[in-house]
Structure formats: structure tokens, C-alpha cells
């Protein structure tokens, strides 16, 4: 086997492991992600799985990275090329609702579930989850501040409170979709967002 083919096969195998890991973690949490489970699901040996990552924590971090890539692809990159400020903030929120509405991941919002699972722990996995959340909230704050500066939102808008409320709507949406199976939840979320983001 040529070295080039070997590298390509190694990448493909790693990709299969991470993709399956994300599916499992989406439904069962990152702690449900075990080397034995992945090996059985993928028809591999445990040594074959662990050889790509070295530890369960490294595997979990790879899955968090992949979940972040999915979020970027399915939410951030779907925001139309629209002016910054209120219009862009609304489109960001719409893309966020659509992401959950389309059930991109079987377990709903990966980061909502992962944050609940790791919020009272320390370590690199919690830091990675928190970091992704912080980046998205920063992006929301930037657009909200620009909307205030442009006069699209009232001058006395508490941007921190606004972002808190936007995140709260999305947490509620994920809850009602996943736990309640409520098909009208996306419409309710959109109505809440319209109230929050009224000019």
C-alpha cells in the first residue's frame, strides 16, 4: 500500500469514527461515547478506534470540533449576505431556528445537550463547549450593538439582556422540539424573536 493511500484511508477511518461519534453523542451525550460502542458500531477493534485518538477525552474533543463545524455550516454559513445590524441579527436567528427545525442532528442542539452534561465540570471538553457558545454569543452581541448604533434598536437597549433572551428562546425551542415533540415550537420561537427584534 502506498503511503498516500495509507494516509487517505487513515483520514477516512477517522472521519467515520468522528461522524458516528457525533451521532451517538447527539442522542446519548458525550459520556455515552465509548471506544467499545464505536468499535462495535463501525466493525473495528477497540485498539483501532483508540489508535486514532489516544484517549476518550481526545475523541470527545474531536466530536465537539465536528459539532462546531456542523453548526458553522448549517447556521452561520446559511445567513444571507445582508447588511450588518438588525437585518443580519434577524437572519442569524432565523438560521438558528431552521437548524433545529430541520433536525440536522438527531438529538437536537448538540451544544445545548453538551452544555447541560458538562456545565458543572472542569477540563478541556467543557472549555471547548463553552468556547463555541461564547463565539456565537459574541457574534450576536456584535450585530445587536451595530443595530443600536444604527438606530435600528433603541439607544437604551441592554445588549447583554437581549442576547440572554435570544439564547433563552433557542433553549426553549430545543426543549419543546426534543422533549415535547411540539411541531408548532418553531413558529412560537419565531414569534418570540420578532418581539425581541422589533425595530
First-to-last C-alpha distance (Å) of the chain: 63
Provide the percentage of residues in the chain whose pLDDT is more than 70. Answer: 97
Q: What is the pLDDT of residues 96-134, one digit of tens each?
A: 999 999 999 988 999 998 999 998 998 999 999 999 999
Q: Which fold has domain 1-55?
A: Arc Repressor Mutant, subunit A (1.10.10)
> What pTM does this model have?
0.88
- Domain layout of the chain by residue ranges: 1-55, 75-196
Q: What pLDDT does residue 154 have?
A: 95
75-196 has the same fold as 1-55: no
**Range of lowest pLDDT (3-7, 61-65, 138-142, 160-164):** 3-7
Kindly report, residue by residue over 40-67, the tens digit of the pLDDT: 999 999 998 988 888 899 999 999 999 9
- Calculate the average pLDDT of the chain: 93
CATH of domain 75-196: 1.10.357.10
Please say whether the dihedral angle defined by the alpha carbons of residues 108, 113, 90 and 166, taken in this order, is positive or negative: positive
Q: Output the nine-digit C-alpha cell for 154.
A: 433603541
Amino acid 168: pLDDT = 97
Query: How sure is the predictor about 180, in pLDDT bands with cuts at 50, 70 and 90?
Result: very high
- The backbone region for 108, taken as left when phi is positive above 0, alpha when psi lies in -120 to 50, beta otherwise, is left
Q: What pLDDT is attached to residue 8?
A: 85
Amino acid at each position: 500500500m502506498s503511503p498516500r493511500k495509507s494516509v487517505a484511508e487513515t483520514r477516512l477511518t477517522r472521519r467515520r469514527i468522528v461522524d458516528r461519534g457525533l451521532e451517538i453523542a447527539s442522542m446519548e451525550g458525550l459520556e455515552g461515547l465509548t471506544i467499545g460502542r464505536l468499535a462495535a458500531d463501525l466493525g473495528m477493534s477497540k485498539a483501532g478506534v483508540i489508535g486514532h485518538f489516544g484517549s476518550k477525552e481526545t475523541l470527545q474533543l474531536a466530536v465537539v470540533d465536528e459539532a462546531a463545524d456542523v453548526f458553522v455550516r448549517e447556521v452561520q454559513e446559511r445567513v444571507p449576505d445582508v447588511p450588518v445590524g438588525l437585518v443580519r441579527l434577524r437572519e442569524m436567528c432565523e438560521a438558528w431556528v431552521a437548524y433545529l427545525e430541520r433536525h440536522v442532528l438527531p438529538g437536537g442542539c448538540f451544544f445545548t445537550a453538551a452544555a447541560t452534561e458538562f456545565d458543572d465540570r472542569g477540563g478541556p471538553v467543557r472549555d471547548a463547549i463553552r468556547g463555541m457558545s461564547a463565539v456565537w454569543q459574541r457574534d450576536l452581541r456584535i450585530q445587536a450593538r451595530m443595530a443600536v448604533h444604527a438606530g435600528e434598536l433603541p439607544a437604551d437597549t441592554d445588549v447583554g439582556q437581549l442576547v440572554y433572551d435570544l439564547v433563552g428562546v433557542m433553549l426553549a425551542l430545543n426543549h419543546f422540539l426534543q422533549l415535547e415533540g411540539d411541531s408548532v415550537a418553531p413558529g412560537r420561537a419565531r414569534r418570540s424573536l420578532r418581539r425581541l427584534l422589533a425595530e
